[in-house]
Chains A and B, each alone.
Chain A
């Protein structure tokens, strides 16, 4: 390679380098800005809500919105309701998906293919197809406005993806490990619970995370199944700040931040598991 050529190459690769960082910077700004915007609005003093400033920390920043949120609103109650529903759904979802996924990965049985395909089909249901009948059934049985309905509905909508996801991960764990464990005295059950299940930890964590997130932030099903303000989950409460004639942006933003921050922290902490734990079922390189 001539000298001239290699310097040309250098110029090209350094343009490439700059371009890379430029793209990262633009997308990072795009990704972070709306979140910062929520922070800004939550810190605004009440007289200043309709500000046209773009400063991230607003003039006269105050925590008043947060104080109002926790003292004047049912916010803590909603937080409790959401935690109750979400944690129940997460435990239920992980328990059921980890066992069902295992069966789909390791055994041949009648109805297996139909079972897996019907799981995909449920992902194609428009939400109204289940919500309308569910709503009518609950109204006619007079068990409307209870958490039970919500818990069952959320578990069922989260399950198909979780099962797929767990099955995909089990597929990547060699069966020989279980066979070896059986020689060492494990039976069918304990080979699963003591050997395979612990190895599937990344997928369990991701499945739990997804289930948690989907239930934690779900609004449209809850809006139909819950109407009593004291039984609201967090998303319903947040939306109620917006539906008044004059949107209470300050309260909404403060509430959003309180809801969002734990999820973001959880997500970021678990993000190194995402790449290995997210196998998307059928994927095999």
Chain B
């Protein structure tokens, strides 16, 4: 075999499958987005030009859900990276039972996402859910402490929350669930970066009189950054499109379709409302938004530098 054809030989099986399941549906989706296909026009659909796109942008709900998607993504990624890096920094110091802690802390990553989502949904149940039971326990404890100083009845200090029936609380419940399952990934990535820092760098600089803070700023962060950046870009992309948690914790957008991000909203449009043409257009819009965000981040952070090399 000629050397020049070898890479194509290696690449083609993977791209054949990708072409079949990614490119082909993508093109079909593009066609659909210009059509009026829905349940009543399933076989006799027509091309309607940009009408579906017009519908997407003229409805107010799109902008509301878009805003929620941004909040969802930003909050999740900030917590994932914040918790992940903090725990990695701790795990990288001299601590007892290092492996034990590390294994315990990656457990949420090992639990299948749909089980995570359904389990947390159960835990957010108003009456029997663990979250409210714990809130009641803490409340009882606080009242007990208060009782030491005063005999007056203070009532509940913190109240159980009707998590899944309020618009804001259901959204927060989804975020808590997603923070739980996402921080171990960032922790492991950060830990990998921290372990690649040569110990001699710290030794040499501390002989030169550098403080811990200076070392952190001038050694730790520069090593952490190039590794975390691609992980953050990936995290943003994955979180933006994370259907599982949103859909399963809120049971399809409950209460009354208020708990949605774009991807769960469009999933509902397809498989509950059968608005195929509209959903195809919206899917493409979502993709383009994320492409714009992802592209900007990749450019800004140079995270794709190694890709093209």
A binds B: yes
Chain A interface residues toward B at CB < 8 A: 20-21, 23-24, 27-28, 30-35, 37-38, 41, 50-52, 54, 92, 95-97, 99-100, 102-104, 106-107, 109, 112-113, 115-117, 120-134, 136-137, 152-153, 155-157, 159-160, 163, 168, 171, 188, 213, 216-220, 224, 235, 238-239, 242, 247, 249, 252, 256, 259-260, 263-264, 266-268, 271, 274-276, 278-285
Are B188 and A285 in contact, CB atoms less than 8 angstroms apart?
Answer: no
B32 cross-chain contacts in A, Cβ below 8 A: 132-133, 136
Are B14 and A282 in contact, CB atoms less than 8 angstroms apart?
Answer: no
Which of B51-59, B110-118, B145-153, B163-171 is the interface stretch? B110-118
CB within 8 Å of A: which of B286-309?
Answer: 286-287, 290-291, 294, 298, 303-308
- A275 contact from B123, B192, B270, Cβ within 8 A: B192
CB within 8 Å of A: which of B207-257?
Answer: 223, 226-227, 230-231, 234, 237-238, 240-241, 243-244, 247-248
Min distance, Cβ A46 to any Cβ of chain B, angstroms: 15
Bound together, the chains give a CA A285 to CA B192 distance in angstroms of 10
A278 cross-chain contacts in B, Cβ below 8 A: 188-189, 192
A41 cross-chain contacts in B, Cβ below 8 A: 122
Min distance, Cβ A21 to any Cβ of chain B, angstroms: 7
- A24 contact from B6, B95, B122, Cβ within 8 A: B95
Are B110 and A267 in contact, CB atoms less than 8 angstroms apart?
Answer: yes
- A282 contact from B8, B25, B291, B306, Cβ within 8 A: B306
A124 cross-chain contacts in B, Cβ below 8 A: 237, 240-241, 287, 290-291, 294
Are A122 and B22 in contact, CB atoms less than 8 angstroms apart?
Answer: yes
B196 cross-chain contacts in A, Cβ below 8 A: 285
Bound together, the chains give a CA A122 to CA B18 distance in angstroms of 9
Known contacts A130-B25, A280-B189; 6 additional CB pairs below 8 A are: A28-B101, A97-B14, A100-B13, A102-B10, A132-B283, A276-B192
Cβ contacts A to B, 30 pairs, < 8 Å: A24-B87, A28-B101, A32-B107, A38-B115, A96-B17, A99-B13, A103-B10, A112-B308, A120-B304, A126-B286, A126-B290, A129-B280, A130-B29, A132-B29, A132-B276, A136-B32, A136-B276, A163-B14, A217-B113, A224-B271, A238-B114, A259-B115, A260-B110, A267-B106, A271-B106, A278-B188, A281-B230, A281-B306, A283-B226, A285-B226
Are B307 and A117 in contact, CB atoms less than 8 angstroms apart?
Answer: yes
B3 cross-chain contacts in A, Cβ below 8 A: 188
**In the assembled complex, B127 has its CB within 8 A of some CB on chain A:** yes
Bound together, the chains give a CA A62 to CA B81 distance in angstroms of 40
Residue of B nearest to A54 (CB): B133
Min distance, Cβ B301 to any Cβ of chain A, angstroms: 10
Min distance, Cβ A54 to any Cβ of chain B, angstroms: 5
Bound together, the chains give a CA A160 to CA B137 distance in angstroms of 46
**In the assembled complex, B263 has its CB within 8 A of some CB on chain A:** yes
- B109 contact from A100, A267, A276, Cβ within 8 A: A267
A282 cross-chain contacts in B, Cβ below 8 A: 230, 303-307
- A242 contact from B22, B118, B266, Cβ within 8 A: B118
Bound together, the chains give a CA A58 to CA B104 distance in angstroms of 23
Residue of B nearest to A51 (CB): B128
B87 cross-chain contacts in A, Cβ below 8 A: 23-24, 27
Are B106 and A188 in contact, CB atoms less than 8 angstroms apart?
Answer: no
Min distance, Cβ B188 to any Cβ of chain A, angstroms: 5
Min distance, Cβ B180 to any Cβ of chain A, angstroms: 7
**In the assembled complex, B161 has its CB within 8 A of some CB on chain A:** no
Residue of A nearest to B177 (CB): A34
Are A285 and B223 in contact, CB atoms less than 8 angstroms apart?
Answer: yes
**In the assembled complex, B191 has its CB within 8 A of some CB on chain A:** yes
Residue of A nearest to B223 (CB): A285
Taking each of B6, B32, B247, which has the highest tally of chain A beta carbons within 10 Å of its own beta carbon? B6
Are B119 and A188 in contact, CB atoms less than 8 angstroms apart?
Answer: no
A30 cross-chain contacts in B, Cβ below 8 A: 180
Bound together, the chains give a CA A123 to CA B284 distance in angstroms of 13
Min distance, Cβ B53 to any Cβ of chain A, angstroms: 14
**In the assembled complex, B134 has its CB within 8 A of some CB on chain A:** yes
Residue of A nearest to B242 (CB): A127
Are B248 and A219 in contact, CB atoms less than 8 angstroms apart?
Answer: yes
Taking each of B87, B104, B294, B307, which has the highest tally of chain A beta carbons within 10 Å of its own beta carbon? B307
Are A239 and B283 in contact, CB atoms less than 8 angstroms apart?
Answer: no
Are A239 and B280 in contact, CB atoms less than 8 angstroms apart?
Answer: no
Are B6 and A103 in contact, CB atoms less than 8 angstroms apart?
Answer: yes
Are B8 and A109 in contact, CB atoms less than 8 angstroms apart?
Answer: yes
Bound together, the chains give a CA A188 to CA B10 distance in angstroms of 12
Are A280 and B112 in contact, CB atoms less than 8 angstroms apart?
Answer: no
Are B15 and A100 in contact, CB atoms less than 8 angstroms apart?
Answer: yes
CB within 8 Å of A: which of B59-101?
Answer: 83, 86-87, 90, 93, 95, 101
Are B290 and A275 in contact, CB atoms less than 8 angstroms apart?
Answer: no
Are A20 and B304 in contact, CB atoms less than 8 angstroms apart?
Answer: no
Residue of B nearest to A23 (CB): B90
Bound together, the chains give a CA A20 to CA B290 distance in angstroms of 37
A171 cross-chain contacts in B, Cβ below 8 A: 306
B119 cross-chain contacts in A, Cβ below 8 A: 34, 37-38, 256
Are B103 and A155 in contact, CB atoms less than 8 angstroms apart?
Answer: no
Taking each of B104, B115, B286, which has the highest tally of chain A beta carbons within 10 Å of its own beta carbon? B115
A133 cross-chain contacts in B, Cβ below 8 A: 24-26, 28-29, 32, 280
